[in-house]
Amino acid sequence: MGLWAVNMNNEYDLIVLGGGPGGYNAAERASREGLKTLLIEKEQIGGVCLNQGCVPTKTLLAAVKHYQIAKNSADFGVNAEHVTLDWIRAQKRKANTISALRSAVSAKLKKCKVHVVKAEARFTNRSTIEANGEQYTASRILIATGSRSIIPPIPVSDSPALLTSREILNISQVPKSLVVIGGGVIGLEFASLFSTLGVRVSVVEMLPEIAGSLDGDIAVALRNRLEENIDFKLDSRVEKIEGKRVFYSDARGSDDVEGEVILMSAGRQPLVNDMGLKEIGLDVSSKGVVVNERMRTNLPGIWAVGDCTGKSLLAHSAYRMGEVAVANMMGKPDRMRYNAIPTVLYSLPEAAGVGLTEAEALRSGRKPLIRKLPMQYSARYLAEYGQEKGFCKMLFDARSRVLLGVHMIGGSCSEIIWGAAAMIEAEFRSDEMRELIFPHPTVSEIMRETLWEFEGINL
C-alpha cells in the first residue's frame, strides 16, 4: 500500500473527529450498535461545552445565584448579613465540576470500548485520517469538530483586557468593570453573572434589541430586567478597541465606554479549516459542512454533526444530530428536525423558548392566536420566586389549533421548556393539551394556566 499503508489494528468501522457533545455521544451510540469506533480529539474530551462553555458558565452562575438568594433572603424569613462571594472558591468548584464530568464521559467511552486518541486529525483521502503520524481508516467517518469564537475585523490596539468567553472563565478576580461586545446568549450570561456581583457592566450590541434568538416580547422583558444593573448600547457598531476603551458609533454619533475587562462575544463559527476537507471534495459552505436531514454530507460514508454544520449551534442539537447520524449509518432511517429545539438563556432571570416566535409565525403566513400570563399564576413560582417578574407566552395556529410556540422568562423555565418542545414535536392541539395533567404545585403549571387563557376564542 506504499506510503499510506495502514496497520490492521488501525482499521475501524467508524472514526469520529471531535470529542464534544455531538462526537462523544455518537461514538457511544455507535459502539453500542456494535461498530468498532475511534474518537480523535485534539484537546479535552467534552469539547467547548464541557470545558469552556455550558458547564463552567452554569457552575459560576450557580454560585452567583446562591449569592443573590442569600442577599435577598429576608423576604423568606432568613437573615443573612455581610454576604460575600469567594471567587477563588467558586473557580475551584468550577474546575472540580469540569474534571468530574470529563472523567465521567471518558469512563463511559471506555466502558463502551471506544478507542480515544488525543491528536489533531486530517483527511488524507475519503476513508483515511492521519493523527500523530499514524494512519487510521474506516468505512464511515463522522465530523464533529465544533466551533470557535468569532473575532470580527475590529482594529485593536494595545488591549490585554480583550478576552473571549474562553479566557474570561479563568480570570483570577472579579473585575470592577466589564464591557461586553455582543448582546447574544453568551454575552448576556456573562453580563448577568458579573452585574449581579456589583460589576459595572456595559453591553454594546449592533442590533436594535438583545437576544435575537428569543421571542421579541421575551427579549424586551429580559432587557428591562437586566437594565437595572447593565447599561445597554443598542444599534451600536464597534469601531475600534484601544487599551481598555471600546469606541462605538450609533445614530447619535460616536462615543466610547471603558472596561477593566472587555469580552468579545460576537458569536461562533464552524471549525472546519485545515482538515483537508476541500482536498477530498467535501461540500463546505460559509456556514459550515453541508449536510442533509440525515446528517449525510455530499460524500458517501462521511457524516457531520453539531456546530461544524452551522445548523444549530447548541449542545443538545449536537446530541440529537449524532444519534440521527448513527441511526442512518446502521440502516435505521431517522432525520434531524429543527422545529422544536429549545433555546435557553441562563441569565438571572432565565429565559427560554421553543417553536415559532411571534415574528416567525407572522412571517410564515400563519395567523397566530397569542396569550401571555404572569408566572405568579403558578403557585410554586409565587412560593419560591415571590414577586420576581416573569411570564409565559403561548402561540397556537388559528386554523388548526396546533401549538406553534412557547416562550418564558422567569426562574425554572430552563427545566420545563422541554415539555413544550415535546408537545410541539408531537403537534399537540389545544384540546389534547387540556387533557394533560401537570403535577401540582410546579412551575410547569404555568403552561396549563396560560392554555386556559384562550378560553372564549374557540380553541
What is the DSSP track for 34-61? T--EEEEESS-TTHHHHHHSHHHHHHHH
* Calpha distance 179→227 (Å, rounded): 14
Same domain, 114 and 187: no
Domain-located, residue 222: yes
Assigned C-alpha cell, 346: 441562563
Residue 1 is predicted with a pLDDT of: 35
Decide: helix, strand or coil at residue 165: helix
- Which CATH number covers residue 160? 3.50.50.60
Domain-located, residue 343: no
Same domain, 116 and 50: yes
pLDDT digits (tens, 9 = 90+) for 190-218: 999 999 999 999 999 999 999 999 999 99
- Which CATH number covers residue 407? 3.30.390.30
Same domain, 229 and 297: no
Residue 458 is predicted with a pLDDT of: 59
Domain-located, residue 280: yes
* Calpha distance 312→128 (Å, rounded): 28
Same domain, 166 and 143: no
Q: Are 281 and 183 in contact (CB under 8 A)?
A: no
Residue 243 is predicted with a pLDDT of: 95
Domain-located, residue 337: no
Same domain, 133 and 63: yes
Same domain, 281 and 145: yes
What one-character-per-residue DSSP string does 249-268 give? EETTEEEEEE-SEEEE---E
Question: Is 440 annotated in the active site?
Answer: yes
* Calpha distance 275→341 (Å, rounded): 29
Same domain, 98 and 36: yes
Domain-located, residue 305: yes
Same domain, 223 and 250: yes
Residue 457 is predicted with a pLDDT of: 58
Same domain, 134 and 221: no
Nearest to 165 by CA among 240, 78, 243, 56: 56
* Residue ranges making up the domain that contains 227: 156-266
Out of 266, 295, 313, pick the residue that ends a domain. 266
Residue 428 is predicted with a pLDDT of: 96
pLDDT digits (tens, 9 = 90+) for 171-197: 999 999 999 999 999 999 999 999 999
Domain-located, residue 442: yes
| CA angle 171–172–177, rounded 5-degree value | 65
Residue 9 is predicted with a pLDDT of: 80
The DSSP bridge partners found for residue 400 are none
Nearest to 27 by CA among 140, 121, 152, 181: 140
Same domain, 316 and 169: no
Q: Which residue ranges of the chain lie beneath pLDDT 50?
A: 1-5
Residue from 66, 82, 316, 440 carrying the catalytic annotation? 440
Nearest to 419 by CA among 338, 346, 340: 340
Decide: helix, strand or coil at residue 386: coil
Q: Where are the alpha helices (DSSP H) in 179-311?
A: 185-196, 216-226
Domain-located, residue 342: no
Nearest to 345 by CA among 190, 168, 163, 203: 190
Domain-located, residue 290: yes
Out of 219, 248, 266, pick the residue that ends a domain. 266
> How many domains does one find in the chain?
3
Q: Which residue has the cell 414535536?
A: 425
Q: Which residue has the cell 460616536?
A: 254
Out of 329, 357, 380, pick the residue that ends a domain. 329
Same domain, 101 and 177: no
Same domain, 14 and 46: yes
